[in-house]
Structure 1
Amino acid sequence: MKDIEIFKRDINQVLEELKVDPDIGLRDEEISKRREKYGENALTKKKGQSLLMKFINQFKNFMVIILLIAAVVSGSLGEIKDSIIIAIVVILNAILGLIQENKAEKSLEALKNMTTPLTKVMRNSKLIQIKSPELVPGDIVIIESGDYIPADGRILEESSLKIEESALTGESLPVDKNTEVPEGDKVPLGDRKNMVYSTSMVTHGRGKIVVTNTGMDTEIGKIAKMLEAEEKVKTPLQIKLEELGKYLGILALSVCVVIFLLGYFQGRPPLDMFMLAVSLAVAAIPEGLPAIVTIVLSLGVQRMIKKNAIVRRLPAVETLGTASIICSDKTGTLTQNKMTVTKLYVYDELVDAVNIKDISDATSNKVVEIGLLCNDASISQEGGEKKAIGDPTETALVVLALQKGLLKKEQEELKPRVNEIPFDSDRKLMSTIHETDEGLQVFTKGAPDILLERCNRILINLEVKPLTDEIKEKIKASNIGMANEALRVLAFAFREIQEAPENPTSDNIEKDLVFVGLVGMIDPPREEVKEAVKKCRMAGIRPIMITGDYKLTALTIGKELGILEEGSSAIEGKELDDLSDDELIKNIHKYSIYARVSPEHKVRIVKAWQANGRIVAMTGDGVNDAPSLKTANIGCAMGITGTDVSKEAADIILTDDNFATIVAAVEEGRNIYANIKKSIHYLLSCNIGEIVALFIALVLNIPSPLIPIHILWINLVTDSLPALSLGIDPPEADIMSKKPRDPKESIFSEKLGFFIGIRGVIIGLVTLMAFYTGWNHSVEVGRTMAFLSLAFAQFGNSISVRSLDKSLLKIGIFSNRHLIGAIFISSVLMLTVLFVPFLRNVFDLALLNSNQWMMVILYSLIPLTAGEILKQLVKSK
């Protein structure tokens, strides 16, 4: 059924169209027909890719394709070793990516693997329990406090029914429901009081509904469909690495052509020149980079799991390092999603209720007592921890009493309830009658303005006195003051009666009351979020609050958390409707808080920031957050309170529902990107050194200082462990005091390209010098010295590239123990091919004397020393 018709129709019309009797429910034959027609009451899932397709997708990368071509060419020319080494690296990269992708999916499935909820439904004239996915349109469902709404439905009967719809509408307080048809043509979702919606929860009362829509036809189903239309943008790292792959591919092909033509015109054999060109092409491309990037990201993901975050898409954790905007939902993300009493007013005195246990005022105690007993919430014991269950407003009062040492069950035994008048949304009051030591007493709570009009006396220090107009004005002023602080205010009163009427009514019970006091409550902010917001500011990240709650409440929370900074303001959804997309893009920087917004508004806000060149992270937990989570560059869903739809749309899931975890993810992301740049710095400068050495030797028409197997072995040894160790380098101390990098900036920014070029030339010249020194003895000795000097020079280079502006003494030579271990292992591998006779013959190497070893050590230290001097020279300019 179409919802726009359902909430406007009479109940009998809805039942007639659904062909169901509310007292009998559906019969078995009809249930089977409808299940076949409407399917399961669940959101449809997109068909996942097969394992084979996921594996094939790992090869859809320009750099990987170039490497595969090089492997084929090498193999076709008889260089089977070269071909095998390249193929192993490429396949290893694909396997690592596939394993990590599956790990993330399994982690997500573990989060979602919860018990299927049961639903009480009337079928064949019997009330039975079934699994929620088995519901069909027309089912008659019974709901009561604590139940989740299993499907969209029209209310047939209700008794003090309140539904918490924050996951769908963003409204933090429960909504009073009724059976009446709302007036007007355009009624917002949150104001359709005669409807209930899937994923909402009953916080108070009970009711009977008829299911109108199931599965993808529900409101959350409609939002799920919206997700299909949003395309996922590529992360900055993906873009930069694709660009780098293209540059290196073009470089490799250019080197091949230039070297081949140069050798050809020198009269060298074409086949030899082609083999040399292929070797140089392999040297030009750091074939270990794709695997290293994947492994570095994977290790970052594992660290994030320990910090309560599951990364669903591998590059996502890095992208947080570029985030300059974090858009966050309020309820449950910035706040505790738990109403808490913060203020208590008794005659002419406003006190802080946070320290209620230290307040001994008798009148305050009476407020607490009324709040506890005129209350349908309860306390449950779960694993040694007391937990309040029921309407958030009432649970706040139960918790307040608990802080005073008053247990609801004990107090109800001492002062049992003998009758009641349930809360009514029109009356806005609730009253209960209790037997006390002083006799029968009526306890009443409700809206301050209404309850005050029913009072003619006031309790002051346990003395009942007349309620004068002057005192009334003071009470009203206190009510307004708390309301202006975005507190939800309740008033409390009582009266003594001689006997309890059999049918108590508002007229005979809720009159001539004795006013006792007021309490103000709010869903308070998480304490750790305040510090997280400060860190965001320090890191140049702007936090933004986007909520479906009221503007005043959002402003109060925003100010307390530091989100509403000087010069920024708040705006409501209806004001956003008056702004065109261009106007919103132009003025987006003016607003730090967005209140009373819809899912469409959230998507517009994210896109407006993106249009201003910002990388946007969006946090949220509700179904209404899902479209914006997917639209954002990085979507962060809450793992505990988050809905399945929001988790499916997100890149990262925070298992502790803590906004502060985002800050840890930002630091991790920044460090990952910095470390990947260190690996690129190291790999490219080393490979350029190889190219420089071979190219100059060719131009000078002297023997090549390295043969193809030397290049491949050095690349295998030096491009693996040392480069990987740089990828897990500890973060620099000032990493979170820098502004987010511009996502458009080159990966070679901050003079990285200059440093790579200079270091590469120095390594290349050192290699030539070592070859020339040994060449006087023999070509084999020269190549051995070049082979060793190049490798050890690269090891020294790996230590120096850890920072572009800080010396080794400042960052600590041994602060990355993994790198020291990698250099040791790689050095052993290099020396093994020299000192094992069989391998020495395969590699055409020669043993060196002591003088030659001294020269190798001297040459090897030159790039490290030059790199450190270069840092200081560039820094001083």
Structure 2
Amino acid sequence: MKKMMNDKALVRHLAACETMGSATNICSDKTGTLTTNHMTVVKSCICMDVREVGNNNKASLCSEIPESAVKLLLQSIFTNTGGEIVINKDGKREILGTPTETALLEFGLSLGGDSQAERLASKLVKVEPFNSTKKRMGVILELPEGGLRAHTKGASEIVLAGCDKVINSNGEVVPLDVESINHLNATINQFANEALRTLCLAYMELENDFSPDNAIPLSGYTCIGIVGIKDPVRPGVKESVAICRSAGITVRMVTGDNINTAKAIARECGILTDDGIAIEGPDFREKSQEEMLALIPKIQVMARSSPMDKHTLVRQLRSSDEVVAVTGDGTNDAPALHEADIGLAMGISGTEVAKESADVIILDDNFSTIVTVAKWGRSVYINIQKFVQFQLTVNIVALIVNFSSACLTGTAPLTAVQLLWVNMIMDTLGALALATEPPTDELMKRAPVGKKGNFISNVMWRNILGQSFYQFMVIWYLQVKGKGMFSLEGPDSDLTLNTIIFNSFVFCQVFNEISSRNMEEINVFKGILNNYVFVAVLGCTAVFQVIIIELLGTFASTTPLTSLQWFVSVFIGFLGMPIAAALKTIPV
């Protein structure tokens, strides 16, 4: 777990790590996970004119827009916001709030706006925070000259649909005709196709008898303009998505953004392919159960989605026997995080509710870290399989040897103390050695296990049965022919032979432990020196075996061996390695 912390992943539930290794689907947020979460306004359509917004032309941009429109724009930005501009202890200006709010406030400041002055000039009468269902937020102001004014901002196509007037290039409020609507919709699509998040800002004058107890109106607005906000894709995301694809993990983007923006980012990340489908949340939730099940395998992007759309997608995927991982940062993501097989909350932008509902917290909010968690999960799963393969081989051979010998001769070659030592190798030291194998990139080139995979695979059975057969045959041969082979005579011949059998059996396990480092690859020595624990365990096992044979004769029922007997015992164990390599060439 400490190593995963170093890789920016905090595991809250231990079982989640292994589950992530079996994941077949990742439903990822866009903002902050696939992108940097540092937004800036790069394009605008104010007063029906599309302009680039760069650091060098913001002053000229302000001069090109009519003064009346600039005042309305700045009032909308600084009053209808959840962000704050504060002066820190160093006297520097700092902007607090969501990345979208921060981008808008920076844009307003660059146009020469004064946040404090704008807020003091009008009295805030009513606030409706951003709503994931309405996709907008709004405020009602009491103006200094009298009267009420409502400001709203949110998803461009939704806010624009509530507008019936627009400010033209002369700063005049004119009816929103078909030509103007088409121009603004084309601008929204143009911005979205350039992977920009679009927001529409609008206002309306309210009657003096309007009661603040009523909801802020949804229609009758005058469009001030549309801004396009850029959130660059994080470095390494495209490569990470490609790794997921090669690992058999399907990555799906679930976002509240405009569908064109979502598709552009998804293509840039490599998530959306030619045979994939991008769908909007409202369309998705209208589908029947049968239509959803037929459509979901092809969905790669879900835009304009609500938290319940995300929850429904996850539930349907899980009902199809998929192992689903979900990323989220907001309070509304909690149902989907809880529903998923593994919930991944963002450590920087995530709310406390999201973190409490998650199994793993991604400390750097980066999609690449999610891939690292999957790699660690697969490593845990594979390491357990290696240990079980090693353990079953030891158990099968020890059981058959002692049982068959007891039935045929009335005595067992392996005593209780010797079996206890073998069990220490098998359970304690073996687990310590094989469980500490670090993850490799090769793990992400195989298909995920999923829910239906067998823990003891055909590959494991092949290795277990093949290695067990070899060890049993060698020990059986030593029992039958050992005395003649080593010219053992006299009263101590049985003790010496049993010591050779015990020694050979232990070294069979030592070398089988090395062979178990990789259940399919022949080169099991790759990276072995990088795992200090594994090398130390092997060294300690060999040293303790020498002590048991040479010094603990009375306690362990052994007797010191000659150099030839030691060589043969070690050679018999070593011979198991080419046998294991040959077994790995047998297809299953």
| TM class by smaller structure | 0.7 to 0.9
Q: Deviations over 1:323-377 (max 9, x none)?
A: 1111124454445556521224699996654xx23x3586336479959965535
Q: Is the 8 A contact 2:241 2:271 kept in 1?
A: yes
CA positional deviation for 1:804: 2.8
> Given the alignment of the two structures, is residue 304 of structure 1 paired with residue 4 of structure 2, yes or no?
yes
Find 1:814's aligned residue among 514, 529, 548. Answer: 529
- Greater displacement, 564-573 / 746-755: 564-573
Matched residue, 1:389: 96
CA positional deviation for 1:849: 2.0
Q: Deviations over 1:12-68 (max 9, x none)?
A: xxxxxxxxxxxxxxxxxxxxxxxxxxxxxxxxxxxxxxxxxxxxxxxxxxxxxxxxx
CA positional deviation for 1:687: 2.0
Q: Give me the identity figure in percent.
A: 32
SS in 1 for 2:414: coil
1: CA distance, partners of 2:239 / 2:436 = 27
Q: Say if 1:679 and 1:573 are closer, same or farther in 2 by CA, change over 3 A.
A: same
> Given the alignment of the two structures, is residue 584 of structure 1 paired with residue 284 of structure 2, yes or no?
no
Q: Is the 8 A contact 2:201 2:225 kept in 1?
A: yes
Matched residue, 1:542: 250
Q: Say if 1:577 and 1:708 are closer, same or farther in 2 by CA, change over 3 A.
A: same
1: CA distance, partners of 2:494 / 2:247 = 55
Correspondence list, 1:362-401, <5 A: 363-364=60-61, 366=63, 376=78, 378-381=85-88, 387-389=94-96, 395-400=102-107
Give the length in aligned residue pairs: 521
SS in 1 for 2:14: coil
2: CA distance, partners of 1:601 / 1:388 = 32
1: CA distance, partners of 2:199 / 2:16 = 43
TM-score (norm 1): 0.52
CA positional deviation for 1:321: 1.0
In structure 2, the gaps of 5 or more residues are 79-83, 127-135, 145-150, 154-158, 203-222
Find 1:705's aligned residue among 406, 413, 416. Answer: 413
2: CA distance, partners of 1:575 / 1:380 = 45
CA positional deviation for 1:387: 3.3
Q: Say if 1:538 and 1:854 are closer, same or farther in 2 by CA, change over 3 A.
A: closer
CA positional deviation for 1:573: 3.9
Find 1:779's aligned residue among 494, 503, 510. Answer: 494
Matched residue, 1:790: 505
Q: Say if 1:575 and 1:738 are closer, same or farther in 2 by CA, change over 3 A.
A: same
CA positional deviation for 1:574: 3.6
SS in 1 for 2:586: helix
CA positional deviation for 1:382: 7.4
CA positional deviation for 1:773: 2.0
Correspondence list, 1:461-500, <5 A: 479-482=187-190, 484-485=192-193, 487-488=197-198
Q: Say if 1:809 and 1:309 are closer, same or farther in 2 by CA, change over 3 A.
A: closer
1: CA distance, partners of 2:241 / 2:64 = 36
SS in 2 for 1:488: strand
Q: Say if 1:797 and 1:385 are closer, same or farther in 2 by CA, change over 3 A.
A: farther
1: CA distance, partners of 2:166 / 2:256 = 30
Q: Deviations over 1:283-330 (max 9, x none)?
A: xxxxxxxxxxxxxxxxxx222222222222222101111111111244
> Given the alignment of the two structures, is residue 341 of structure 1 paired with residue 341 of structure 2, yes or no?
no
Q: Is the 8 A contact 2:189 2:260 kept in 1?
A: no
Matched residue, 2:563: 850
CA positional deviation for 1:593: 2.7
2: CA distance, partners of 1:323 / 1:761 = 35
Find 1:316's aligned residue among 16, 21, 27. Answer: 16
Q: What amino acid does structure 1 have at the position aligned with 2:539?
A: F
Correspondence list, 1:74-113, <5 A: none
Q: Say if 1:418 and 1:533 are closer, same or farther in 2 by CA, change over 3 A.
A: closer
Q: What amino acid does structure 1 have at the position aligned with 2:61?
A: S
CA positional deviation for 1:808: 2.8
Correspondence list, 1:385-424, <5 A: 387-389=94-96, 395-400=102-107
> Given the alignment of the two structures, is residue 456 of structure 1 paired with residue 152 of structure 2, yes or no?
no
1: CA distance, partners of 2:586 / 2:137 = 75
Q: Say if 1:810 and 1:383 are closer, same or farther in 2 by CA, change over 3 A.
A: farther
Q: Deviations over 1:703-737 (max 9, x none)?
A: 42211221111211343223321112233442112
Q: Deviations over 1:255-296 (max 9, x none)?
A: xxxxxxxxxxxxxxxxxxxxxxxxxxxxxxxxxxxxxxxxxx
Q: Is the 8 A contact 1:688 1:761 kept in 2?
A: no
Q: Is the 8 A contact 2:49 2:169 kept in 1?
A: no
> Given the alignment of the two structures, is residue 864 of structure 1 paired with residue 577 of structure 2, yes or no?
yes
TM-score (norm 2): 0.75
Q: Is the 8 A contact 1:530 1:562 kept in 2?
A: yes
2: CA distance, partners of 1:754 / 1:576 = 46
Correspondence list, 1:248-647, <5 A: 301-335=1-35, 339-344=39-44, 353=53, 356-357=54-55, 359-360=56-57, 363-364=60-61, 366=63, 376=78, 378-381=85-88, 387-389=94-96, 395-400=102-107, 453=167, 455-456=169-170, 479-482=187-190, 484-485=192-193, 487-488=197-198, 519-521=227-229, 525-647=233-355
Correspondence list, 1:101-180, <5 A: none
CA positional deviation for 1:680: 1.3
CA positional deviation for 1:780: 0.8
Q: Say if 1:315 and 1:562 are closer, same or farther in 2 by CA, change over 3 A.
A: same
Q: Is the 8 A contact 2:27 2:325 kept in 1?
A: yes
CA positional deviation for 1:548: 4.5
Q: Say if 1:397 and 1:548 are closer, same or farther in 2 by CA, change over 3 A.
A: closer
Q: Deviations over 1:127-151 (max 9, x none)?
A: xxxxxxxxxxxxxxxxxxxxxxxxx
Q: Say if 1:380 and 1:764 are closer, same or farther in 2 by CA, change over 3 A.
A: farther
2: CA distance, partners of 1:308 / 1:340 = 26
1: CA distance, partners of 2:266 / 2:451 = 28
2: CA distance, partners of 1:533 / 1:455 = 44
1: CA distance, partners of 2:120 / 2:390 = 80
SS in 2 for 1:326: strand
1: CA distance, partners of 2:87 / 2:294 = 52
> Given the alignment of the two structures, is residue 741 of structure 1 paired with residue 455 of structure 2, yes or no?
no
Which fold has the larger relative contact order, with Cα–Cα distance below 8 Å and residues 6 or more apart in sequence?
A: 2
Q: What amino acid does structure 2 have at the position aligned with 1:378?
A: I
1: CA distance, partners of 2:435 / 2:137 = 64
Q: Is the 8 A contact 2:197 2:257 kept in 1?
A: no
1: CA distance, partners of 2:18 / 2:576 = 30
Find 2:461's aligned residue among 753, 763, 772. Answer: 753
Q: Say if 1:620 and 1:361 are closer, same or farther in 2 by CA, change over 3 A.
A: closer
Q: Is the 8 A contact 1:367 1:516 kept in 2?
A: no
> Given the alignment of the two structures, is residue 874 of structure 1 paired with residue 574 of structure 2, yes or no?
no
2: CA distance, partners of 1:310 / 1:480 = 39
2: CA distance, partners of 1:812 / 1:339 = 43
2: CA distance, partners of 1:600 / 1:489 = 23
SS in 2 for 1:388: strand
SS in 2 for 1:593: strand
1: CA distance, partners of 2:296 / 2:581 = 45
1: CA distance, partners of 2:303 / 2:568 = 71
SS in 1 for 2:292: helix
Q: What amino acid does structure 2 have at the position aligned with 1:767?
A: I
Matched residue, 2:434: 726
Q: What amino acid does structure 2 have at the position aligned with 1:845?
A: T
CA positional deviation for 1:810: 6.6
SS in 2 for 1:811: coil
2: CA distance, partners of 1:773 / 1:426 = 87
1: CA distance, partners of 2:90 / 2:367 = 26
SS in 1 for 2:21: helix
Q: Supply the RMSD in Å over aligned alpha carbons.
A: 4.3
2: CA distance, partners of 1:387 / 1:530 = 32
SS in 2 for 1:751: helix
